[in-house]
Amino acid sequence: MYYRLPQFEYLRPNDLHQALETIREGDWKPLAGGTDLLLDMKNGRQSPKKIIDISRLSELRYVRTNDSRVLIGGGSRLQELLENVIVKEKLPLLSSAIYEMASWQIRNIATIAGNLCNASPAADSAPPLLVHGARVKLISSSGSRTVPLSEFFLGPRKTVLSNNELMGEIDVPLLEGYYYRYYKIGRRHAFTLSVVSMAIAVKIENGIFSDVRIAMGSVAPKPVRALNVEKELIGKEAKTVEITKAIDLVSEDISPISDVRASAEYRMKVTKFLLKESLQESLKYFWK
C-alpha cells in the first residue's frame, strides 16, 4: 500500500519567539523530527492542517547541569543526548534507554520532547525520567508552567499540553547513591518497540530500603510508576522483606493489554520477573 502525506500549510520559524507567537493563534501542530508525526499523517491517524516545523530552533537544543539536576532542551536529538557526556555520566538510566531506541538514523532526527509529547505508552525515554521524578517546562508566548512528568501523560496520545504550548525543557533531578537498572524487552534484540520497559532505582541504607523507584512502559495506557510496589518496600528491612509479596502488588499499578507485540499475561509475567531480578541484584550491589 502506498501512503501519501495529505496537504497542509507549512511554516518554519527562525526563532523560538516567532514560533510561540505563531502557535498563539490557530491550530498549529509542532513538527520536530517527524518520526512519529509524519507516519501518523501518512496512515491517516492525524491530519493537521497547519504544521509548524520547530526542528531548527537552536534555543531548544542544550544540556546543562548543576549539582542537583540536569536540564535538557526539548528539541535535543536523541543521538546528541546519547553522545552527551553529562547525560552519560549523570543520567545512566536515560542513556541506556536511548541507546536501545530505534536506530542511529532515527535517533539523529528524533527529539526527546517528540518522544514524550507523542505520549505513546511505549515511549522509551519516559520510564527513566519518571524514576528521576523529572518535570517538564511547557512554554507559550505568555510564559511557562512546570508539570511533573507523572502528571503530563493523560493516556495514549493524550497529554496536558495546550495548543499554544511547546515542551521547552525537561528538568531531571539527580539521584545519588542508587542501584540502577534499565530493561527493554522487545520482540527482537534491537530496532523494536518495547513489549515491556522498566527503569528502577533502589537505595538501601543501614539495611533498609530507604528509596525504591520503579517506572514502566507498554504495560498501561501511559508510562507509570509502580507506586504500590514502591510503598510496600520502602522502610522495610531489605534482607527479610517478602519481595514476592511486594512484587505481586504490581497488578494494582499496571493494566497490560494484549496486542500485536505480546499478550497481557506475558507482559505481567515479564514485569514480575524483571522486578524480582532487579531487586535481588540491588541487594547484591549494596552487600558487595
Name which of 120 and 271 has its Cβ closer to ligand FAD: 120
Name which of 179 and 183 has its Cβ closer to ligand FAD: 183
What b/e readout covers 53-75, taking b as 16+ CB neighbours within 10 angstroms? ebbebeebbebebeeebbbbbbb
Name which of 124 and 232 has its Cβ closer to ligand FAD: 124
**Nearest distance from residue 210's CB to ligand FAD, in Å?**
31
Q: Are the beta carbons of 150 and 169 closer than 8 angstroms?
A: no
**Nearest distance from residue 86's CB to ligand FAD, in Å?**
19
**Nearest distance from residue 94's CB to ligand FAD, in Å?**
12
**Nearest distance from residue 96's CB to ligand FAD, in Å?**
13
Q: Which residue has the cell 516567532?
A: 18
Instruction: Write the DSSP string, 111-163.
Output: BHHHHHHTT-TT-TTHHHHHHTT-EEEEEETTEEEEEEHHHHEEETTEES--T
Angle CA(224)–CA(172)–CA(73) in degrees, nearest 5? Answer: 110
Positions touching ligand FAD (CB under 6 A) are 29-37, 39, 54, 74-75, 78, 101-102, 106, 110-111, 113-115, 117-118, 122-124, 161, 166-167, 193
Name which of 39 and 257 has its Cβ closer to ligand FAD: 39
Name which of 128 and 256 has its Cβ closer to ligand FAD: 128
Rounded to an integer, what is the distance from CA 39 to the centroid of its chain? 20
**Residue 251: DSSP 8-state:** G
**Nearest distance from residue 238's CB to ligand FAD, in Å?**
32
